[in-house]
Structure 1
Amino acid sequence: MGRVPENRRQAVVKLLWISIWMLYLGAPLDDLVHGGHGPVVVVPASLGLAAFVVAYLALVFLRTNTEEQERWVHWVLCALAVLALATSATLGEPWLVLFVYVSVVCGAVLPPTWSRWSIPAATGALALVGSFVDTAGDLYPALLIPCLLGGFAMVGIRHLVQTMRALREARETVAQLAATEERLRLARDLHDLLGHSLSLITLKSELAGRMLPGRPEDAAQQVADIEKVSRQALVDVREAVSGYRRPTLATELAGARIALAAAGIAAELPVELPPTAGARADGSAPPSLAPDTEGALAWALREAITNVIRHSGATRCVITLVERSDGGCAGTFVLTVTDNGHGSADGPGSPGNGLSGLEERLLLAGGSLSTGPAAPTGFTLSASVPRRTPAVTVPPLG
């Protein structure tokens, strides 16, 4: 809601929702077929009704999400009002329903300062024309309330659409500010980690240069100190980067719950998590999840939730985390994220950069990634990682 259709499917769905209300045009259509009018009346009346429907659908479909309307919109509204007035006055009471559509479209596309008087004006025109053409007096009173309330209901929907758009823009701004703050924090931490070490390395390098060639023993000591400081700086950087890049399942599940709720997607998440390497189940049992295993699953969950929110158009998301045992021994953890959306946005065989990077992470952790359509609709991502990540041997440099 509040979004411009991004693809053909969304446009068709929106058009179908708008077209449902065309069922109320049954009275004018019945009058054209069984009203006993001659071809001289039926042909122009049919063309006028078709033009009315096309103009109505165009305004509601294209201009509801627009705050500032162009001049042609007002001319089309005037044309709709003239068509409703002319057909009702000449063809009788079955055509009075067109005033309801005029009121609704006024509420849908006009700002409140304009719609607050145009909707009562359309209702007043309905009452005025109805007092002449509805001799029985049983039809137009039933249309007055829908005409008035339908128009003002569209005013409320238009305001809701604008509010949702503003909230979405504000959320994107907050996300950008958070990313900027995170970059600044990383810059500060790296400066604190490396500033002292690099300054010390520079100082000792200058001392070693001054001691050569007259004091080679002292220069060698300075070079040894430089090596020690640089190794410690490398360890600090690795620990800092590891802390930034290794998420936890608990944190990602909490973030997924908040993100899905903000996107209006109902979420089913696991209640309990396996104990991690930092928290044993009891005093003697070995830990269930190694840090690398938990980190790989957390990255998979983050990527899957991001895709669900951005691309799926889903209303429900189910997250499961189970352990498959291999012969009674330590098995494999399988994280599955399933939504009921319209499937992969990239299409089969063309994974995006996020899924490609995730598959590389899982391969490094000894796991695998599988994706595919869900039944009856939707998309499923399944990431499997062994309980104990296999050790990766890195050959020494040089």
Structure 2
Amino acid sequence: MSGVGIGQRPENRRQQTVKVMWTAIWLVFLSAPVNDLLHGGHAVAVQVLGWAGLAAFVVWYMLLLFRTGRGDRTNAVLGALAVLGALAVLAAESALLALTLGREWLVLFVYVSIASGAALPLRLARWTIPGASVLLGALALVVPGGRAVMAALLVPALLGGFAMTGVRELIRTTVALREARATVARLAANEERLRLARDLHDLLGHSLSLITLKSELAGRMLPDHPDKAARQVADIEQVSRQALVDVREAVSGYRRPRLAEELAGAEVALTAARIVAELPAEPAPNGVCEESEAALAWALREAVTNVVRHSGARRCVVELLERRTPAGAVLELSVEDDGSGGPAPAGAPGNGLTGLAERLEKAGGALEANRFRHGFRLVARVPAASAADIGSGA
């Protein structure tokens, strides 16, 4: 990047040079004082002092102007007082040069006004800019021939000063927008990482549990029933391939599980774990929004994975009901087992249930997971219709 954007500080020597050159372009209006020093007929000593004064003015002006966009000063009050003092020195030098060398030097007050707008906040610049203009007008009345150029200098002083306040506010707004955009990008990245973590946990936890179970079955069957062991190995290959596909889709953000598929997978996993499975005949009522169905599918996958891995159950009952509430139709999925385990060691909610609760909350639903009778029960509820359908009266 060769240039410097608004609100950005120069990051290297080249960018700093570009900014200096762009600012120096406007010093062309100092041609009147320069011409006066070259052809004004002043004595050599006066010329030397004039050149020294002009050089000091330009350096002081550039230092003030380069404060534009710097909003990170630790003490704003002391910073403003320092700028006011510097402007006072700049105005005093301009007045001294104009009174000593003539009306051509009144143009320096235009730069004083511009520096005020660039280096001071608006609440102060709205007073210093008119103040510099009033001082310009007063000196024009005193300096010989100053009345002739007073009108031509007052307008640029006022317009230039207030234009610089606009540029300063634009710089500050641009910096704030850049920071806000960076914050939004960080939040979006964090949200995507959470989504990916939930998806990978749900996908791999279920698939790897099933692979482990079938591997154990194949190992027990191998000595006496090699044909059955071969079928288990074939199932392991199929589950592994499907897990790979699911992970790729999850990473791409396109995976939306279906209840019918998850019910079929749940039956396979429970049967492989030698758990009697009682599943609903119908996967889901017609007309259920995709977001709610996907949330219930994730809930079923997580619940069955916990039953297989933690419960030690002999029986698992899955029910899917549609209930009517004052807020509208609600789908309720319950998974109940008769085991002695819980969702996590010490009864604390694990990463899976935490991520599942977040999924259901995003879909407008809720999660309940607790011990029930002689086992554990997980209940997931989601609205049967999406928020957009409810809002439109569908």
In the superposition, the TM-score normalised over structure 1's length comes to 0.55
Cα distance between partner residues in 2 of 1:39 and 1:65: 41
Q: Out of 52, 57, 69, which is 2:57 matched to?
A: 52
1:236 is the counterpart of 2:241: no
- Displacement of 1:235 after TM fit? 3.4
- Displacement of 1:111 after TM fit? 0.8
Deviations 1:285-335 (A, max 9, x none): xxxxxxxxxxxxxxxxxxxxxxxxxxxxxxxxxxxxxxxxxxxxxxxxxxx
Q: Counterpart of 1:16?
A: 21
Cα distance between partner residues in 2 of 1:45 and 1:206: 96
1:63 is the counterpart of 2:73: no
Q: Counterpart of 1:115?
A: 125
Cα distance between partner residues in 1 of 2:246 and 2:131: 73
Whether contact under 8 Å (1:134, 1:140) holds in the other structure is: no
Whether contact under 8 Å (2:103, 2:146) holds in the other structure is: no
Cα distance between partner residues in 1 of 2:48 and 2:252: 75
Aligned-partner SS, 1:137: helix
Aligned-partner SS, 1:66: coil
1:75 is the counterpart of 2:80: no
Deviations 1:263-303 (A, max 9, x none): xxxxxxxxxxxxxxxxxxxxxxxxxxxxxxxxxxxxxxxxx
Q: Out of 126, 132, 136, which is 1:126 matched to?
A: 136
Aligned-partner SS, 1:24: helix
- Displacement of 1:96 after TM fit? 0.6
Identity of aligned residues (%): 60
Change (3 A) 1:171 1:97: same
Q: Out of 201, 209, 212, which is 1:202 matched to?
A: 212
Q: Which has the larger radius of gyration?
A: 2
Q: Out of 5, 10, 14, which is 1:5 matched to?
A: 10
Q: Unpaired runs of 5+ in structure 2?
A: 1-5, 255-394
Q: Unpaired runs of 5+ in structure 1?
A: 245-398
Cα distance between partner residues in 2 of 1:241 and 1:156: 46
Give the 5 Å matches for 1:262-341.
Answer: none
1:96 is the counterpart of 2:100: no
Whether contact under 8 Å (2:136, 2:154) holds in the other structure is: yes
Q: Counterpart of 1:326?
A: none
- Displacement of 1:174 after TM fit? 1.7
Cα distance between partner residues in 2 of 1:85 and 1:50: 15
Give the 5 Å matches for 1:133-282.
Answer: 133-135=143-145, 137-206=147-216, 222-241=232-251
In the superposition, the TM-score normalised over structure 2's length comes to 0.56
Letter in 2 for 1:20: I
- Displacement of 1:134 after TM fit? 3.8
Cα distance between partner residues in 1 of 2:224 and 2:195: 45
Change (3 A) 1:143 1:193: same
1:37 is the counterpart of 2:42: yes
Aligned-partner SS, 1:64: coil
Letter in 1 for 2:180: A
Instruction: Tell me how many residue pairs correspond in the alignment.
Output: 243
Change (3 A) 1:139 1:242: closer
Whether contact under 8 Å (1:205, 1:226) holds in the other structure is: yes
Cα distance between partner residues in 2 of 1:79 and 1:206: 88
- Displacement of 1:180 after TM fit? 2.0
Letter in 2 for 1:5: P
